[in-house]
Structure 1
Amino acid sequence: MDGLAIREAVASDVAAMLKLYELGDRASDEAFTLDEGVAHLEMMQRNPALRVYVACDGDVVVGTYELLIMENMAKRGRRSGIVEDVMVLPEYRGRGVGKAMMQDAMDRCSAAGCYKLTLSSNRMREGAHRFYDALGFTRHGYSFRVELD
Protein backbone atom coordinates (compact mmCIF):
# COMPACT_ATOMS: atom_id res chain seq x y z
CA MET A 1 0.00 0.00 0.00
CA ASP A 2 1.51 3.32 -1.07
CA GLY A 3 1.94 5.92 1.62
CA LEU A 4 1.94 3.41 4.47
CA ALA A 5 4.46 4.09 7.22
CA ILE A 6 5.25 1.82 10.16
CA ARG A 7 6.76 3.39 13.25
CA GLU A 8 6.95 2.98 17.00
CA ALA A 9 3.76 3.97 18.77
CA VAL A 10 3.65 7.16 20.82
CA ALA A 11 1.19 8.39 23.42
CA SER A 12 -0.88 10.28 20.85
CA ASP A 13 -1.53 6.96 19.03
CA VAL A 14 -3.16 5.25 22.01
CA ALA A 15 -6.73 6.42 21.32
CA ALA A 16 -6.55 4.97 17.78
CA MET A 17 -4.98 1.76 19.07
CA LEU A 18 -7.73 1.29 21.65
CA LYS A 19 -10.30 1.80 18.88
CA LEU A 20 -8.58 -0.90 16.81
CA TYR A 21 -8.82 -3.37 19.69
CA GLU A 22 -12.47 -2.41 20.25
CA LEU A 23 -13.30 -3.14 16.61
CA GLY A 24 -11.58 -6.51 16.66
CA ASP A 25 -12.09 -9.70 18.58
CA ARG A 26 -10.28 -8.20 21.56
CA ALA A 27 -13.19 -6.01 22.66
CA SER A 28 -13.75 -6.37 26.36
CA ASP A 29 -15.30 -4.72 29.34
CA GLU A 30 -11.74 -4.69 30.69
CA ALA A 31 -10.45 -2.25 28.05
CA PHE A 32 -8.14 0.56 29.10
CA THR A 33 -9.33 4.12 29.45
CA LEU A 34 -7.26 6.54 27.40
CA ASP A 35 -5.19 7.60 30.42
CA GLU A 36 -4.61 3.98 31.44
CA GLY A 37 -3.60 3.09 27.88
CA VAL A 38 -1.08 5.92 27.69
CA ALA A 39 0.41 4.91 31.06
CA HIS A 40 0.59 1.29 29.95
CA LEU A 41 2.31 2.15 26.67
CA GLU A 42 4.86 4.20 28.61
CA MET A 43 5.47 1.21 30.91
CA MET A 44 5.90 -1.10 27.90
CA GLN A 45 8.39 1.31 26.34
CA ARG A 46 10.65 1.00 29.39
CA ASN A 47 11.25 -2.65 28.43
CA PRO A 48 14.02 -2.56 25.79
CA ALA A 49 12.94 -5.95 24.37
CA LEU A 50 9.31 -4.94 23.78
CA ARG A 51 8.06 -2.48 21.20
CA VAL A 52 4.64 -1.41 19.98
CA TYR A 53 4.29 -0.33 16.37
CA VAL A 54 1.61 1.42 14.38
CA ALA A 55 0.95 1.44 10.66
CA CYS A 56 -0.17 4.83 9.41
CA ASP A 57 -1.82 5.96 6.21
CA GLY A 58 -0.89 9.62 6.41
CA ASP A 59 -1.94 10.72 9.89
CA VAL A 60 -4.42 7.86 10.36
CA VAL A 61 -3.40 4.84 12.46
CA VAL A 62 -4.69 1.87 10.46
CA GLY A 63 -2.91 -1.02 12.17
CA THR A 64 -0.81 -2.01 15.15
CA TYR A 65 1.29 -4.86 16.47
CA GLU A 66 3.60 -5.63 19.37
CA LEU A 67 7.01 -7.26 19.03
CA LEU A 68 9.03 -8.90 21.77
CA ILE A 69 12.62 -9.82 20.92
CA MET A 70 13.88 -12.10 23.63
CA GLU A 71 17.20 -13.53 24.58
CA ASN A 72 17.40 -17.31 24.85
CA MET A 73 19.64 -19.69 26.77
CA ALA A 74 19.07 -22.40 24.18
CA LYS A 75 20.23 -22.16 20.57
CA ARG A 76 23.56 -20.73 21.77
CA GLY A 77 21.86 -17.55 22.89
CA ARG A 78 20.23 -16.73 19.58
CA ARG A 79 17.28 -14.41 19.92
CA SER A 80 13.70 -15.11 18.93
CA GLY A 81 10.78 -12.82 18.24
CA ILE A 82 7.14 -13.00 19.25
CA VAL A 83 4.40 -10.95 17.59
CA GLU A 84 1.24 -10.15 19.55
CA ASP A 85 -1.95 -8.12 19.16
CA VAL A 86 -1.95 -7.65 15.39
CA MET A 87 -4.88 -5.46 14.36
CA VAL A 88 -5.88 -3.67 11.16
CA LEU A 89 -8.87 -1.37 10.70
CA PRO A 90 -11.63 -3.37 8.97
CA GLU A 91 -11.76 -0.97 6.02
CA TYR A 92 -8.00 -1.43 5.46
CA ARG A 93 -7.98 -5.23 5.55
CA GLY A 94 -6.96 -6.85 2.29
CA ARG A 95 -4.98 -3.75 1.27
CA GLY A 96 -1.51 -4.90 2.34
CA VAL A 97 -1.35 -3.32 5.81
CA GLY A 98 -1.08 -6.61 7.69
CA LYS A 99 1.47 -7.91 5.19
CA ALA A 100 3.56 -4.76 5.59
CA MET A 101 3.43 -5.00 9.39
CA MET A 102 4.48 -8.66 9.38
CA GLN A 103 7.30 -7.91 6.93
CA ASP A 104 8.37 -5.10 9.25
CA ALA A 105 8.40 -7.53 12.19
CA MET A 106 10.40 -10.07 10.19
CA ASP A 107 12.89 -7.41 9.14
CA ARG A 108 13.33 -6.20 12.72
CA CYS A 109 13.85 -9.77 13.92
CA SER A 110 16.38 -10.47 11.17
CA ALA A 111 18.27 -7.31 12.04
CA ALA A 112 18.32 -8.37 15.71
CA GLY A 113 19.75 -11.78 14.83
CA CYS A 114 16.62 -13.76 15.65
CA TYR A 115 16.46 -17.34 14.45
CA LYS A 116 12.65 -17.36 14.39
CA LEU A 117 9.55 -15.22 14.69
CA THR A 118 6.47 -16.77 16.22
CA LEU A 119 2.87 -15.83 16.82
CA SER A 120 -0.28 -17.56 17.93
CA SER A 121 -3.78 -17.29 16.55
CA ASN A 122 -7.15 -18.45 17.77
CA ARG A 123 -8.13 -21.74 16.09
CA MET A 124 -11.38 -20.21 14.81
CA ARG A 125 -9.60 -17.43 12.87
CA GLU A 126 -9.28 -19.35 9.60
CA GLY A 127 -8.83 -16.18 7.52
CA ALA A 128 -5.93 -15.10 9.72
CA HIS A 129 -4.38 -18.56 9.35
CA ARG A 130 -4.53 -18.34 5.57
CA PHE A 131 -2.97 -14.86 5.80
CA TYR A 132 -0.04 -16.10 7.90
CA ASP A 133 0.37 -19.18 5.67
CA ALA A 134 0.63 -16.89 2.62
CA LEU A 135 3.37 -14.88 4.34
CA GLY A 136 5.50 -17.99 4.78
CA PHE A 137 4.71 -18.80 8.39
CA THR A 138 4.38 -22.52 9.01
CA ARG A 139 2.10 -24.23 11.45
CA HIS A 140 4.33 -25.69 14.10
CA GLY A 141 3.41 -27.58 17.23
CA TYR A 142 0.69 -26.46 19.54
CA SER A 143 0.01 -23.33 21.48
CA PHE A 144 -0.97 -23.85 25.11
CA ARG A 145 -2.26 -21.45 27.69
CA VAL A 146 -3.60 -21.36 31.20
CA GLU A 147 -5.77 -18.57 32.57
CA LEU A 148 -4.25 -17.00 35.68
CA ASP A 149 -5.95 -14.68 38.14
Structure 2
Amino acid sequence: MTDPVITVRDATARDVPNLLMLYETSGIDRPGENDPERAAAHWSALRKAGAHVFIAESGDGQPLGTLTLFILPLLAHATAPAALVEDVAVHPAAQGKGIGRRLIHEAMERASAAGCYKLALSSNEKREAAHAFYDNLGFQRHGFSFVVPLGGAR
Protein backbone atom coordinates (compact mmCIF):
# COMPACT_ATOMS: atom_id res chain seq x y z
CA MET A 1 0.00 0.00 0.00
CA THR A 2 1.38 3.43 -0.90
CA ASP A 3 1.14 6.42 1.36
CA PRO A 4 -1.18 9.17 0.21
CA VAL A 5 0.49 12.12 -1.48
CA ILE A 6 1.38 14.82 1.02
CA THR A 7 2.90 18.13 -0.05
CA VAL A 8 4.58 20.73 2.13
CA ARG A 9 4.75 24.23 0.71
CA ASP A 10 5.13 27.83 1.80
CA ALA A 11 1.78 29.17 2.95
CA THR A 12 0.34 32.32 1.42
CA ALA A 13 -2.11 34.92 2.66
CA ARG A 14 -4.90 32.87 1.03
CA ASP A 15 -4.06 30.03 3.45
CA VAL A 16 -4.78 32.06 6.60
CA PRO A 17 -8.29 30.60 7.16
CA ASN A 18 -6.87 27.07 6.92
CA LEU A 19 -3.99 27.95 9.24
CA LEU A 20 -6.44 29.28 11.84
CA MET A 21 -8.51 26.09 11.50
CA LEU A 22 -5.39 23.99 12.13
CA TYR A 23 -4.47 26.05 15.21
CA GLU A 24 -7.97 25.58 16.61
CA THR A 25 -8.42 21.87 15.81
CA SER A 26 -4.97 21.00 17.16
CA GLY A 27 -5.56 22.83 20.44
CA ILE A 28 -3.10 25.70 20.03
CA ASP A 29 -6.05 28.11 20.04
CA ARG A 30 -9.58 27.70 21.32
CA PRO A 31 -12.30 27.29 18.68
CA GLY A 32 -13.64 30.66 17.58
CA GLU A 33 -10.96 32.71 19.33
CA ASN A 34 -9.27 33.85 16.10
CA ASP A 35 -10.45 36.78 14.02
CA PRO A 36 -9.85 35.81 10.35
CA GLU A 37 -9.81 39.43 9.15
CA ARG A 38 -7.32 40.47 11.80
CA ALA A 39 -5.14 37.44 11.06
CA ALA A 40 -5.22 38.13 7.31
CA ALA A 41 -4.23 41.76 7.95
CA HIS A 42 -1.39 40.53 10.18
CA TRP A 43 0.02 38.20 7.49
CA SER A 44 2.31 40.81 5.90
CA ALA A 45 3.78 41.76 9.30
CA LEU A 46 4.48 38.10 10.00
CA ARG A 47 6.26 37.68 6.68
CA LYS A 48 8.13 40.98 7.10
CA ALA A 49 9.42 39.68 10.46
CA GLY A 50 10.99 36.80 8.55
CA ALA A 51 8.50 34.05 9.29
CA HIS A 52 8.37 31.07 6.99
CA VAL A 53 4.97 29.44 7.41
CA PHE A 54 4.64 25.95 5.98
CA ILE A 55 1.43 24.11 5.25
CA ALA A 56 1.11 20.38 4.63
CA GLU A 57 -1.72 19.28 2.38
CA SER A 58 -3.22 16.05 1.13
CA GLY A 59 -3.22 15.26 -2.56
CA ASP A 60 -6.66 16.85 -2.88
CA GLY A 61 -5.55 20.06 -1.15
CA GLN A 62 -6.92 19.41 2.35
CA PRO A 63 -4.87 21.22 5.04
CA LEU A 64 -3.26 18.70 7.37
CA GLY A 65 -0.64 20.61 9.34
CA THR A 66 1.48 23.72 9.67
CA LEU A 67 4.45 25.22 11.45
CA THR A 68 6.21 28.56 11.53
CA LEU A 69 9.98 28.86 11.19
CA PHE A 70 12.03 31.92 12.10
CA ILE A 71 15.68 32.31 11.08
CA LEU A 72 17.24 34.65 13.64
CA PRO A 73 20.43 36.57 12.78
CA LEU A 74 22.83 36.63 15.72
CA LEU A 75 26.18 38.13 16.67
CA ALA A 76 27.29 35.27 18.92
CA HIS A 77 28.26 31.85 17.57
CA ALA A 78 30.49 33.52 14.97
CA THR A 79 27.37 35.25 13.59
CA ALA A 80 25.71 31.93 12.71
CA PRO A 81 21.94 32.31 12.78
CA ALA A 82 19.63 30.21 14.91
CA ALA A 83 16.27 28.78 13.88
CA LEU A 84 13.14 28.79 15.99
CA VAL A 85 10.03 26.71 15.31
CA GLU A 86 6.66 27.90 16.59
CA ASP A 87 3.01 26.96 16.16
CA VAL A 88 3.37 23.31 15.14
CA ALA A 89 -0.17 22.13 14.45
CA VAL A 90 -1.43 18.89 12.90
CA HIS A 91 -5.12 18.22 12.42
CA PRO A 92 -6.22 15.50 14.86
CA ALA A 93 -7.42 13.27 11.98
CA ALA A 94 -3.93 13.46 10.43
CA GLN A 95 -1.87 12.88 13.57
CA GLY A 96 0.36 9.82 13.57
CA LYS A 97 0.62 9.82 9.76
CA GLY A 98 4.00 11.53 9.37
CA ILE A 99 2.70 15.07 8.79
CA GLY A 100 4.54 16.59 11.75
CA ARG A 101 7.68 14.70 10.77
CA ARG A 102 7.51 16.12 7.21
CA LEU A 103 7.01 19.65 8.54
CA ILE A 104 9.89 19.42 11.02
CA HIS A 105 12.20 17.96 8.38
CA GLU A 106 11.33 20.84 6.03
CA ALA A 107 12.17 23.31 8.81
CA MET A 108 15.45 21.49 9.54
CA GLU A 109 16.44 21.54 5.86
CA ARG A 110 15.67 25.25 5.52
CA ALA A 111 17.51 26.09 8.74
CA SER A 112 20.52 24.04 7.70
CA ALA A 113 20.57 25.70 4.26
CA ALA A 114 20.53 29.10 6.02
CA GLY A 115 23.64 28.13 8.01
CA CYS A 116 21.85 27.92 11.36
CA TYR A 117 23.85 26.43 14.20
CA LYS A 118 20.70 25.09 15.91
CA LEU A 119 16.97 24.71 15.55
CA ALA A 120 15.02 25.15 18.77
CA LEU A 121 11.43 24.79 19.86
CA SER A 122 9.61 24.61 23.13
CA SER A 123 6.79 22.37 24.23
CA ASN A 124 4.48 22.53 27.21
CA GLU A 125 5.77 20.21 29.92
CA LYS A 126 2.42 18.37 30.01
CA ARG A 127 2.61 17.34 26.33
CA GLU A 128 4.45 14.06 26.87
CA ALA A 129 3.43 12.60 23.48
CA ALA A 130 4.88 15.67 21.76
CA HIS A 131 8.10 15.25 23.75
CA ALA A 132 8.41 11.65 22.59
CA PHE A 133 7.80 12.82 19.01
CA TYR A 134 10.58 15.43 19.22
CA ASP A 135 12.92 12.94 20.92
CA ASN A 136 12.28 10.52 18.05
CA LEU A 137 13.21 13.23 15.54
CA GLY A 138 16.63 13.68 17.15
CA PHE A 139 15.93 16.73 19.29
CA GLN A 140 17.85 16.85 22.54
CA ARG A 141 16.37 18.18 25.72
CA HIS A 142 18.39 21.26 26.53
CA GLY A 143 18.18 23.64 29.44
CA PHE A 144 14.94 25.16 30.64
CA SER A 145 12.32 27.23 28.94
CA PHE A 146 11.10 30.32 30.77
CA VAL A 147 8.03 32.37 29.94
CA VAL A 148 6.60 35.60 31.30
CA PRO A 149 3.05 36.50 30.21
CA LEU A 150 2.90 39.98 28.73
CA GLY A 151 -0.84 40.52 28.39
CA GLY A 152 -1.14 39.93 24.65
CA ALA A 153 -3.25 37.16 23.21
CA ARG A 154 -3.28 34.12 25.44
Per the shorter chain, which TM-score range?
Answer: over 0.9
**Residues 30 and 3 from structure 1, CA distance in 2 versus in 1: closer, same or farther, beyond 3 angstroms?**
closer
Contact 2:28 / 2:89 at 8 angstroms: preserved in 1?
no
- Provide, for residues 53-74 of structure 1, a one-character-per-residue CA deviation record: whole Å limited to 9, x for no partner: 1111121111010000011111
Q: Which amino acid aligns with 2:26?
A: G
Q: TM-score, normalised by structure 2?
A: 0.90
Which of residues 128, 139, 143 in structure 1 aligns to 2:145?
143
1:71 is matched with: 73
Identity rate, percent: 41
* SS of equivalent to 1:18: helix
RMSD of aligned Cα (Å): 1.5
Q: CA deviation at 1:31?
A: 2.9
Unaligned runs of 5+ residues in structure 1 are none
CA distance in 1, matches of 2:125, 2:36: 30
CA distance in 2, matches of 1:29, 1:16: 13
Q: TM-score, normalised by structure 1?
A: 0.93
Which of residues 14, 32, 44 in structure 1 aligns to 2:16?
14
1:4 is matched with: 6
Matched residue pairs, number?
148
CA distance in 2, matches of 1:29, 1:136: 32
The answer to whether the aligner puts 1:44 opposite 2:38 as a matched pair is no
The answer to whether the aligner puts 1:61 opposite 2:46 as a matched pair is no
**Residues 94 and 34 from structure 1, CA distance in 2 versus in 1: closer, same or farther, beyond 3 angstroms?**
same
The answer to whether the aligner puts 1:118 opposite 2:120 as a matched pair is yes
